[in-house]
Amino acid sequence: MAGREHGRRHRVSVLSGDDEPRLSPTALAFAAVFVIVIVVAIGAGILFLNLLSEQGPDLAIEVGYDGSTLRVHHEGGIELPPGDFRLLVDGRDRTGDARFEDASKGRNFSVGRTLVVSAPAPVQGVQVRYEGDQGAHVVIAERYAEEFVRTGRDDPWAMDFPPSATTTPRAAEVPPREYTFPPAPAPKGLAEPPRAGHLYVAAADSFLPSSGEVIRCDGSADEVEITEALRRAGTVELLEGTFHLSRRLTVPGYTVLAGQGRTRTVLSVENASDPYQPIEIAQPYVTVRDLRVEGQGFFRISASHVRIRDVVATSRTRDGRLLPSGGNGMFFVWADRSDVEDVEFYSCTAYDCSTHGFNMNQDFSDRVPRTTRAIRFVNCYAALCGYGTAGGSRSPWITGFDLQETQDLVDCQLINCISESNWESGFHAEPGARLDGEMREIGPRTRCEGLVLTNCVAKNNGWRNTDPGRFFLSGFYIHRNAVLSGCRSIHNRNAGFYVQGGSSLLFDRCTDSGSTYGWRIMKSSQEIRLSSCTSSDARAWAIWAAYASRLQVENFTQVRATGARGVQSILGWYKDNARYGRPVTDSTFEITVIGPSPLAPINRDGSGNRFEIVRAGG
């Protein structure tokens, strides 16, 4: 429209100094405010129009990949005729190479249709670029390697494509691999003993002991008899058998609740009308040990000085049903109106669960920050946690160990713990914002101090996830003031170690093998140190860092990284997104590269960086 005139040209009157109208200070102030408001409104309108034009029309895609063929499925949104879009694979236009899986339905890319294109591995990103007349020519849909659905028949997580809302592929249900760990510290005792008294409680199918007082259950609402025993005695021993509970069980303070072993004493919890049926520990100095909880049961701990030892928790019943859980975790620490401290989970297992395996959080409804402090996880295991909301989970964000959400976290230790084949991350700690349901900040950022993970293992996490919003999918998602020592990541769908908005982190002698990215460090991260760490057989990059400063990568070994976009490790790039695709600055990279590759070990974008790259044999 440039160069065209609209309407008549106005006359311009030139005033002499004497004729110039004079305004009062109040009128001048009013006029200035009026002008500012008009300018701001015009600027906001222009910005809105620019943002609108840059977004383009809506499109949702899903990408399946078997290592040689990409399948791009139209999930919803605009219908695109030929010429209105481009299909980009790692930034290259592959539109002319693509074909429709069912060519008989015409040439438009519409809902339910799938484009197929040959693409030998590796492929890191697929984008659909809009070329029509409903806005600027911009990328309107994208998927990256960690989000691709595995469709190769030899892959244990292969599935039909596109996956449906209820698709929940899973690896074979096997016991945890026997890793060789250094000896763990012994369990910590409690400073206060249980109350006096000892009672046995027998299930309907239990054999009675030869001596001692016994309360007998009838196999229905057995929480009534167990509660009576806990009221009368400080130590309650559940005999071998299955106890059937339909309501919450509250364990009072200064009490021991013990079974005969994690396979011999079973608390089966089921309530058809209300899935929220916790084993509630709201008073201090409680020990629970040597039993199994299944169905809708979970531990809800809102008191200090608690010990949970040799306990298994699962949402799966003996007859194979996966029941919904009303709790945030099978082992759930909840800072409800007070801080919680000195809690230890020792040799505890969360397996096949419809919620988090282990979770810590707080009630922030009164806007008062609270702290979980001096929490220990020793020899604990979380596997097959999460199935997506369509598959039976309470949330699409289920992890193995969810260590921090809304609460402050101080002095938390994990030793010799394993997190395997969970829906999102293996070990997870949120970066710090306290948000409401509409993602508005409602309080000060959370504190994290003294988080230490030693000899922990994260394996195969994220692969079962079919939720369209999947995001974390990593072995370790850690943010700030933490030390990871001797930790291992194995074949996680996204990153082995994922840092977003992080600071003051040390990874000491940590390893990743076979994840898409060994280390992924993003979004204003700083003061991150990798000391004597190794990435082996990364499916894309050994290190992916952008918008980060003062990284110290010392004595890093990069073994057979597959690479993508011309490099085995990449700096500064973030999905062609200028907001987060900022340089890495003032950092050090000491990398030994092992394995033949035509790709450069790492790009050298950014400023103030020092590189020392050594190529070794192999």
The answer to whether 64 and 148 are in contact (CB under 8 A) is yes
The answer to whether 566 and 598 are in contact (CB under 8 A) is no
Does residue 123 belong to any structural domain of this protein?
Answer: yes
Mean pLDDT of the chain: 90
Does residue 608 belong to any structural domain of this protein?
Answer: no
Does residue 112 belong to any structural domain of this protein?
Answer: yes
Average pLDDT over residues 456-465: 96
Tokens of 231: 């009221």
Q: Beta 139-144 vs 69-77: how paired, if at all?
A: unpaired
Cα distance between residue 418 and residue 435, in whole Å: 29
The answer to whether 96 and 502 are in contact (CB under 8 A) is no
Of residues 438 and 242, more confidently modeled = 242
Where is 333: in which H helix or E strand?
strand 329-335
Does residue 99 belong to any structural domain of this protein?
Answer: yes
Q: Angle 398-123-150 (CA atoms, 0-180°, nearest 5)?
A: 45
Average pLDDT over residues 219-232: 98
Average pLDDT over residues 437-444: 86
Q: Give 66-88 pLDDT, tens digit per residue.
A: 999 999 999 999 999 999 999 99
Q: Give 510-546 pLDDT, tens digit per residue.
A: 999 999 999 999 999 999 999 999 999 999 999 999 9
Count CA within 13 A, CB hemisphere, residue 105: 13
Cα distance between residue 93 and residue 319, in whole Å: 52
Q: Give 119-164 pLDDT, tens digit per residue.
A: 998 899 999 999 988 767 899 999 999 999 999 888 888 888 998 8
Average pLDDT over residues 358-376: 95
Q: Which domain holds residue 95?
A: 59-150
Cα distance between residue 187 and residue 343, in whole Å: 11
pTM given for the model: 0.90
198: Cα separation from own chain's centroid = 43
Cα distance between residue 468 and residue 164, in whole Å: 10
The beta strands (E) that lie in 203-274 are given as: 214-216, 235-238, 241-245, 249-250, 255-258, 265-269
| Partner residues linked to 415 by β-bridges | 378, 454
Residues in Cβ contact with 353 at an 8 Å cutoff, skipping those fewer than 6 apart: 313, 314, 315, 325, 330, 382, 384, 385, 386, 398
Where is 181: in which H helix or E strand?
none
Cα distance between residue 300 and residue 284, in whole Å: 13
pLDDT at 41 (0 to 100): 43
Does residue 146 belong to any structural domain of this protein?
Answer: yes
CATH code, domain with 122:
2.60.40
Q: Give 278-325 pLDDT, tens digit per residue.
A: 999 999 999 999 999 999 999 999 999 999 999 999 999 999 999 999
Does residue 137 belong to any structural domain of this protein?
Answer: yes
Average pLDDT over residues 101-108: 94
Cα distance between residue 395 and residue 89, in whole Å: 32
Phi, psi for 104 (deg, rounded to 5): -70, -15
Tokens of 476: 């370790």
Tokens of 583: 């340089």
pLDDT of 29 higher than 50: no
- Residue 595 to residues 510, 534, 562, 588: CA-CA distances in angstroms? 20, 13, 10, 22
pLDDT at 156 (0 to 100): 86
Residues in Cβ contact with 558 at an 8 Å cutoff, skipping those fewer than 6 apart: 518, 534, 535, 542, 543, 568, 569, 591, 592, 593, 594, 601
Cα distance between residue 593 and residue 158, in whole Å: 32
Indicate the range of 18-22, 396-400, 471-475 predicted with least confidence: 18-22
Does residue 96 belong to any structural domain of this protein?
Answer: yes
384 residue type, one letter: L
Tokens of 185: 């510290």
What is the count of structural domains for the chain?
1
pLDDT band, residue 432 (cuts 50/70/90): confident
pLDDT band, residue 252 (cuts 50/70/90): very high
Of residues 208 and 568, more confidently modeled = 568
Indicate the range of 98-112, 430-444, 462-476 predicted with least confidence: 430-444
Q: Give 462-514 pLDDT, tens digit per residue.
A: 999 999 999 999 999 999 999 999 999 999 999 999 999 999 999 999 999 99
Does residue 386 belong to any structural domain of this protein?
Answer: no
